[in-house]
Chain A
Amino acid sequence: MGRYLIRRTLFMILVLFVVSLITFIIFVKLPAADPARRAVGRQTTPENIEAARKAFGLDQPVYVQYGRFAKGLIPWPGLFLDEDVYYSYANFVPVKEEIFERLPVTITLALGAAVIWVLIGIPIGIISAVRRGSALDRGAMVFALMGVSAPVFWLGYLFLYIFWFKLGWAPPSGIPIGTTVLQAVFQGVFILPWIVLALAFAAFYARMVRGNLIESMGEDYIRTARAKGLSEKRVIYRHGLRAALTPVVTMFGLDLATLLGGAVITETVFNLPGIGQYAVQAIYNTDFPSVMGVTIFGAFFFAVANLLVDVAYAFLDPRVRYT
């Protein structure tokens, strides 16, 4: 297990390097606008542009430029996203600071939505599978199809229009200035974003749980469980669901990690200052240290979640062993 973790951690760092290299090529070497020119503003002199170019290290050879960023990939407190290189020139603050300032919003959004989609999606999936072919099942699957098909930005604006503008049940989008995230939660700012973000996932999870449960209920060991004389409830919940939910745990870990790296569309529609919104702004501003930082941060989350999920699998499925 120890060797496995070391190997996986090294592999994770390799993945971060690949992700950062691709991001570097796209945003630093193939930019739509010269970052140095973009940084100094419209009214400027060629000397100023040259000075900015030097300050960003853009006059250095490419490998030196990438090397500066690469150092910030090592997941170690002093090194990870070090403040000298990962420094936003759009706002003149370290990228790390920007990210940690926005993290509470993103975490609140992601965790709240995750609770909702698990509480909605899994029970719907179970009921659909158990009552397969019934009106209830068909209704649930229509809901699931709509949930999966409806784009988040459309659903977001629709909900805002109905529940804020027309009915006035929900507060408008955005966190009011001077309000902490916790206060915003109690003001109900997150209710619509949670629901909108959760619906698509709930729909997807309902379908996945339904499919998995129908499959596991057809297994031979379910027939054995029935042959033992167990009640149908126990057969479904203890024997069928046990097998059906294991892959769902994997999906859940990865989905949550993706959202912790920023729920771009939801944050944009509801004007929530989270990581996703930061990423979009950084791209608009050609603020390449921020783009690099936020990308690596998201990739880091995802890689760590991947590792955690794989380790968790060993506890969920006794057949899985790590070597």
Chain B
Amino acid sequence: MAEALLEVKDLSVHFPTDDGLVKAVDGVSFTLLEGETLGVVGESGSGKSVSFLTVMGLIRRKQAQIEGEILFRGQDLLTLPPDEMRNVRGAKISMIFQDPMTSLHPYYKVGDQIAEAVRTHQKVSKAEARDQAVEMLRRVGIPRPDERADQFPHEFSGGMRQRAMIAMALSLNPDLLIADEPTTALDVTVQAQILDLLDRLKQEFNAAVVIITHDLGVVAEHCDHIQVMYAGKIVEAGDRRDIYYNAQMPYTWGLLSSIPRLDETGERERLNPIRGLPPSLIFVPEGCAFHPRCPYVFDRCREEVPELLPSDGHHASRCHLPLADKERIFREEIMAKA
């Protein structure tokens, strides 16, 4: 049994604004084991990115009201002094972002940007740091890494830039890599390459990986666990199989139905979007936050916030529907269509 690497306990991140308190993350708890891959799925504004920016210490107490605990190897990152947190960030936990076009500094050479990360955390000479940077570029599959290291980001294609970002993030052999929408800005063919690369490197570097995405299709093959977030809360969490073959929350069903598919005759089916818009995070709907958009809503949903209840050891969902109904609806309406 693997050790717990990251334990998040009842994390809340609220931003005070002129319009009111934005409850971006509202009572999130989960555990990530060593070497595990976790997929975090949700629409824009579901709190998935904010949760992990907080784990990284990139959202600070000055900007937001942060409550709860973020235990990394048993140590609470939220109480760590900024200097010590900086030693964790980039070295023990690193992160890559959605848009590799804008995430690299346009004025510095790619190799120098990676070497800068190395030299921030290790006492090595410039030449050694550069050698490490070139080696990292090679390991993420960039051809002619020695020449590429001396090029600027605008000389790289989108996929190559994301590879360079991954090289930078893994250059200090972190225990945890957080990938925030790593493929959203890329071409479809490149998306698959990047995800395969992450899979391979995760083995090589023996790191745990969190993939944040809005697209359930992306994480299907690559994640051990998946948690679905909505309006700052986890609404369903489980193993990959639980989510794809036994989803128990209408929002997850909506996400599953909105993955585009071809049927056997090659005809394109109409896309099934989730109706309505994500809720305001200032005025979160009473009861279940999803109830205004839920096709299966009943009276209780409008009044009582559902708990995240486990249906078995590894699968939990936040929905008032009786388990038998969930299983029936999923089987008859969701799977039948898919």
Contacts and interface: CB of A to CB of B under 8 A. Distances in A.
Interface of A: 219-221, 223-231, 239, 242-243, 246, 316-319
Given A220-B99, A226-B89, 19 more contacts: A219-B102, A221-B102, A221-B104, A223-B103, A226-B58, A227-B97, A228-B116, A229-B87, A229-B89, A229-B120, A230-B90, A230-B120, A239-B105, A242-B108, A243-B105, A243-B107, A316-B107, A319-B106, A319-B154
Residue among A231, A243, A318 with the highest chain B CB neighbour number at 10 A: A318
Given A318-B107, A319-B154, A220 B102 contact: yes
B91 A229 contact: yes
A171 B240 CA distance: 83
13 contacts: A221-B102, A223-B58, A225-B105, A227-B94, A227-B95, A229-B89, A229-B91, A230-B86, A242-B107, A242-B108, A243-B105, A243-B106, A243-B107
A228 B86 CA distance: 8
Nearest to B90: A229
Interface of B: 56, 58, 86-91, 94-95, 97, 99, 102-108, 116-117, 120-121, 152, 154, 165, 168-169
A225 B86 CA distance: 11
A242 B105 contact: yes
Contacts of B95: 227
B334 to A, nearest CB: 36
B166 to A, nearest CB: 12
A242 to B, nearest CB: 5
B106 A318 contact: yes
B58 A228 contact: no
B58 A227 contact: yes
B118 to A, nearest CB: 9
A220 B105 CA distance: 8
B90 to A, nearest CB: 3
A224 B97 contact: yes
The residue in A223, A224, A316 that gathers the most chain B C-beta atoms within 10 A of its C-beta is A224
A239 B107 CA distance: 9
Contacts of B169: 227
B224 to A, nearest CB: 24
A230 B104 contact: no
Given A228-B117, A228-B168, A318-B152, A220 B89 contact: no
A132 to B, nearest CB: 12
A227 B105 contact: no
Pairs A-B, 10 closest by C-beta atoms: A229-B90, A220-B102, A228-B90, A229-B89, A221-B105, A228-B117, A318-B152, A220-B103, A227-B95, A229-B86
Contact of A230 (B94, B106, B116): B116
Given A228-B116, A228-B120, A230-B116, A221 B103 contact: yes
Contact of B56 (A221, A227, A246, A317): A227
Contacts of B168: 224, 228
A239 B105 CA distance: 7
B152 A319 contact: yes
A231 B86 contact: yes
B116 A317 contact: no
Nearest to A239: B105
Contact of A224 (B91, B104, B152): B104
Contacts of B120: 228-230
Nearest to A227: B95
Contacts of A243: 105-107
A22 to B, nearest CB: 39
Nearest to A231: B86
Given A220-B99, A318-B152, A319-B154, A227 B106 contact: no
A224 B105 contact: yes
Nearest to A321: B154
Contacts of B104: 221, 224
Contacts of B152: 318-319
A228 B99 CA distance: 16
Contacts of B90: 227-230
Residue in A227, A230, A231, A242 with the greatest tally of chain B CB atoms within 10 Å: A227
B111 to A, nearest CB: 13
Contacts of B121: 229
Nearest to B89: A229
A140 B116 CA distance: 33
A117 B334 CA distance: 68
Nearest to B105: A221
A219 B103 CA distance: 8
Nearest to B121: A229
Contacts of A223: 58, 97, 103
B103 A317 contact: no
Contacts of A228: 89-90, 94, 116-117, 120, 168
A83 to B, nearest CB: 47
A229 B107 contact: no
B282 to A, nearest CB: 22
A231 B117 CA distance: 11
Nearest to B86: A229
Contacts of A226: 58, 89
A223 B169 CA distance: 13
Nearest to B151: A318
A229 B87 CA distance: 6
A169 to B, nearest CB: 44
Given A229-B120, A319-B154, A224 B107 contact: no
Nearest to B171: A228
